[in-house]
Amino acid sequence: MSLAVGCRARPGKSRDNKTGSWRVFRPLFDHEKCSKCGTCQVICPEGCVTEDKDGFFDPDYAYCKGCGLCAEECPKEAIAMKQEEK
């Protein structure tokens, strides 16, 4: 891959960096309890929480760092943090 003049790049390659590998705890999203408020999607610093066709939310585990903000902020306590299996 040849160098871009002036150290420049188009977007896209940051996705090569799978930050999910950083995780110690993973968030588990319980759709039964979810009220579809969307808070988790708004406040995720990675922007990796997406809405499915039914209006429920899930994180992208390839990028989720397991920071736990979604679990902490969910008004319905629908997200629980579980230690990753080694």
Partner 1 sequence: MLEITEGSMAVAEAVRLCRPQVVSAYPITPQTHIVEALAEIVANGKLDAEYITVESEFSALSACIGASAAGSRTYSATTSQGLALMFEVCFNAAGMRLPIVMTIANRALGAPLSIWNDQQDSISLRDAGWLQFYAEDNQEATDLHYIAYRVAEHPAVQLPAMVCFDGFILSHTYEPVDMLSQADADKYLPKFAPKDRLDAADPMSFGMYATPDYYLEFRYESDKALKDAKSVIQTAGKEFAKMFGRDYSAMVEGYKLEDAETVIVAMGSICGTVKDTIDDLRSEGAKVGLLKIRVFRPFPSEEIAKALKGAKRIAVLDKNISLGAKGAVALEVKDALYGSGIPVYDYIIGLGGRDVQKKDIREVVTLAGKGKGDQFVGLRREVL
Partner 2 sequence: MADKTCELFDCGHRACGGCGAALAARLMLKATGPNTIVVNSTGCMEVFSTPYPETSWKVPWIHSLFENSSAVASGIEASLKKQGRSEKVVVIGGDGATLDIGMLCISGAFERGHDITMICYDNEAYMNTGIQRSGATPYDASTTTSPAGSQSFGNKRPKKDLPQILVAHGSPYVATASIAYPNDLIQKVEKAVNTKGPTYVQIHAPCCTGWGFEADQTMNIAKLAIDTGLWVNYEMVDGTVTKVKKVVRKPVEDYLKTQKRFRHLFKPKRQDAEIAAIQAIADKNAAKYGIDIKLKKE
Residue given tokens 């988790």 in the structure block: 40
CA distance 40 to 51: 10
- Interacting residues toward partner 2 by CB under 8 A: 1, 4, 7, 9-19, 22, 42-48, 60, 62-63, 65-69, 71-73, 81
Rounded to the nearest angstrom, the gap between the alpha carbon of residue 20 and the centroid of all alpha carbons in its chain is 8
Tell me if 8 contacts partner 1 by CB under 8 A: yes
Of residues 16 and 85, the one with the C-beta less far from partner 2: 16
For residue 44 the two structure tokens come to 């995720």
Tell me if 1 contacts partner 1 by CB under 8 A: no
Q: Which does 78 bind (CB under 5 to 8 A by kind): partner 1, partner 2, none?
A: none
For residue 5 the two structure tokens come to 């003049």
Residue 4 contacts residue 31 (beta carbons within 8 Å): no
By CB under 8 A, name the binding residues for partner 1. 3, 5-11
